[in-house]
Amino acid sequence: MTFKSILDEIENNLNKILSDLSISDVNFSVEPAKPGFGDVSSNISYLLAKQLKKSPKDIAEMLSEKYSDCANTLVLKSEAHPSGYLNFFANWEKLSQLILSESYLDTCGDVDIGNGSTIVVEHTSVNPNKALHIGHIRNIIIGDTVSRILQKANYKVNVLNYIDDSGLQVADIIVGFQHFKFNEEPPNEKKFDHYCGDDVYVKTTEKYEADPSLEEIRKNVLKELEDGESETAKFADKITRRVLAGQLETCWTLGVTYDCLNFESQIIRSGLWSEIFEKLKEMKLIEFEDGGKNAGCWVIRGEDKEEDKVIVRSNGTATYIAKDIPYAAWKLGLLEDPFSYEKYEKEQPCSRELWQTTLTKSNSVSKNFTGERVVTVIDSRQARLQKIITSLMGKFKSVPDAYNHLGYESVTLSSETAKTLGLETDGKQAQMSGRKGLYVSADSVYEILKEKTKEETKKRHPEFSESEIQTIAHSVSVGTLRYEMIKQDLDKIITFDLTKSLSLEGDTAPYIQYTHARASRILEKSKRTPTIDVDFALLKEKSELDLIKNIGLFNLQVRDSAKNLSPKVIARYCHDLAVSFNSFYEKSKVLDLGDDNLENSRLCLVKSFQTVLEKALGLLGITAPDRM
């Protein structure tokens, strides 16, 4: 059991008191207390003030008196606060035993929100015409972290990556290769995804700007891409799959894996759109426009003064949203699956099987990657489009929250970081543009972080072997990138700074990882195997109890994070847990105390912290190193 045990005990007793008073339907809260309000506090007195016609303070005093007659295991006493809150003080000997004992179990932190139901998380979805850049990383890390948290909350998670291999940006690099004769092999062993983005894409778009007549070539290539049997489409498939392979290498380096790759070109040719189009008409979710600027078009009516959205133009061609609607319906299992599946040609580094859709029936198998619910991670600029799709899917499935858009804001670079990476700035942040080649690749940021970490590790630990340094540098650089992308609210723009992100102080991944290494070092020095067979009454210092309380909050934080699709909750928890351990470390000596019983109790606490922090960091996809 965890800190939730005492919350449940208090809530049950308060409900019994209300029942004795013939009071019902009071939606009060019982929460871990802020400093000065005991260990647990409740707002129940405020909610009863109007009904009982008394002040919250008087009601709290009455409830506290009645609470003393309740059967209590984990509460020592209750107390009315002058503000009107009802506060509770824990029996820490018993609560510590519950919390620390559970922390040693494999199931520590598990919660059951999903009840084994299936949920789809779609993220990444980057055009296969370039390398992943710093802005893409936020999408990828949010999606991967949310997937991990949902799995911890007992969902069966299907992770999808949508490959937009038939859009304009793909057409641009195909124009470059076929019409401007770019070599298919990159110079100087450059990664193919970097070559396509830095050279082919940028230089091709420059040619468009110099000669607008080339736009016709682009349109013809785009049209040929939609015909799966054309030579252009076959060539594009070869090129985009090479780019995709490079992108996936980057994702795997960052600890991100998938279950299935879905290709837009196959969705277009699968017949899903014609099927969903008829359903939209049948359910009267779209209307044919007889007159006005959208005459001859099929539209979705705008809500709240928003403009109508055209989904089929007057010439019969489908718009961008028409590709997303059938895919969204497919993810929810609302359409018969037209795909077969085959394993991706490269193995993911974690042994997780990676499948890909195919329209070819030979040598393929049947799989199911749909879900009862869907979470789609797409940046906030797509909010209008996603709102329309969410509304349509809710009507198709008759479940309002079946389809969820998880939006996020962009990533910029601090002025100093931009200069380090060779980008121009406006004095505050970098000016980035994929079309002009002014962006920072994920690979380059990772490599710079890795080199900086290697240098610092060599300075601090010249005795470490090269392989140890490489391992530490990798875990710290990946941890840094991941943590910086999820520690902020999703609706806040991130300004990424290389130097600050690597600091061993403050709200950074290295600070948290270093704290884990510090705990590991204590356990290593003790030369003992900690157990839960200790005297928990000896753990009574404030720094000890604060740490135990934070350890006990783990599953509550997982529940909160999963319910709200908020990875920041776990990031904040990791930081708070590290802060409480460092406070304990400064105030409570663990080894060489001359008191074996106290040493064993504190070693039990250190091991509990180390285990829970490792599990929490694992939900963020961050390694918890034993040495740094």
How confident is the model over 520-558, as pLDDT tens digits?
999 999 999 999 999 999 999 999 999 999 999 999 999
Residue 435 pLDDT class (50, 70, 90 cuts): low
In a domain, 82, yes or no: yes
In the chain, what's the furthest Cα-to-Cα distance? 90
How many CA atoms are closer than 13 Å to the CA of 225, on its beta-carbon side? Answer: 28
- Output the pLDDT for position 613: 98
- Output the pLDDT for position 612: 98
pLDDT tens digits for range 51-73: 999 999 999 999 999 999 999 99
- Output the pLDDT for position 426: 66
| Percent of the chain at pLDDT exceeding 70 | 97
Residue that terminates a domain, selected from 45, 69, 90: 90
Mean pLDDT score, 346-362: 92
- Output the pLDDT for position 242: 97
Mean pLDDT score, 226-241: 90
Residue 351 pLDDT class (50, 70, 90 cuts): confident
Residue 429 pLDDT class (50, 70, 90 cuts): low
Joined together, the tokens standing for residue 541 give: 């210092």
For residues 430 and 415, what is the distance between their CA atoms, to the nearest angstrom?
6
Q: Which residue has the tokens 């539209």?
A: 299
In a domain, 63, yes or no: yes
pLDDT tens digits for range 19-36: 999 999 999 999 999 988
**Least confident interval from 72-76, 270-274, 427-431, 470-474:** 427-431
- Of the candidates 36, 41, 37, 34, the one whose C-alpha atom is nearest the C-alpha of residue 14 is 41
In a domain, 79, yes or no: yes
- Output the pLDDT for position 430: 62
Sign of CA dihedral 88, 90, 95, 99: positive
Joined together, the tokens standing for residue 243 give: 């780019």
Q: In total, how many domains does the chain have?
A: 2
Mean pLDDT score, 82-92: 96
User: Does the pLDDT of residue 432 top 60, yes or no?
Assistant: no
User: Does the pLDDT of residue 114 top 90, yes or no?
Assistant: yes
Residue 83 pLDDT class (50, 70, 90 cuts): very high
Residue 361 pLDDT class (50, 70, 90 cuts): confident
In a domain, 457, yes or no: no
Mean pLDDT score, 332-360: 94
If one counts every other C-beta atom within 10 angstroms of the C-beta of residue 180, the result is 13
User: Does the pLDDT of residue 568 top 70, yes or no?
Assistant: yes
Contact 567/143 with Cβ under 8 angstroms? no
Mean pLDDT score, 408-416: 89
In a domain, 620, yes or no: no
φ, ψ of residue 511 to 5 degrees: the values are -60, -45
Contact 442/134 with Cβ under 8 angstroms? yes
Total-model pTM: 0.93
Residue 320 pLDDT class (50, 70, 90 cuts): confident
| Percent of the chain at pLDDT exceeding 90 | 78
User: Does the pLDDT of residue 1 top 70, yes or no?
Assistant: no
Mean pLDDT score, 240-255: 98
Residue that terminates a domain, selected from 90, 114, 142: 90
Residue 129 pLDDT class (50, 70, 90 cuts): very high
- Output the pLDDT for position 474: 97
3-class secondary-structure state, position 406: strand
Q: Which range of residues forms the domain containing residue 13?
A: 4-90
Sign of CA dihedral 323, 324, 329, 332: positive
For residues 299 and 229, what is the distance between their CA atoms, to the nearest angstrom?
31
pLDDT, the chain, mean: 93
In a domain, 577, yes or no: no
Stronger pLDDT, 87 or 210, i.e. the higher one:
87
Residue that terminates a domain, selected from 306, 322, 338: 322
Contact 595/515 with Cβ under 8 angstroms? no
User: Does the pLDDT of residue 124 top 80, yes or no?
Assistant: yes
**Least confident interval from 41-50, 230-239, 494-503:** 494-503
- Output the pLDDT for position 362: 76
What DSSP designation does 34 have? Answer: P
**CA–CA distance from 294 to each of 285, 289, 310, 373 (Å)?**
17, 6, 8, 34
In a domain, 47, yes or no: yes
For residues 456 and 552, what is the distance between their CA atoms, to the nearest angstrom?
34
Contact 618/628 with Cβ under 8 angstroms? no
3-class secondary-structure state, position 81: coil
- Output the pLDDT for position 427: 62
- Output the pLDDT for position 415: 85
Mean pLDDT score, 396-418: 89
In a domain, 70, yes or no: yes
CATH number of the domain enclosing 39: 3.30.1360.70
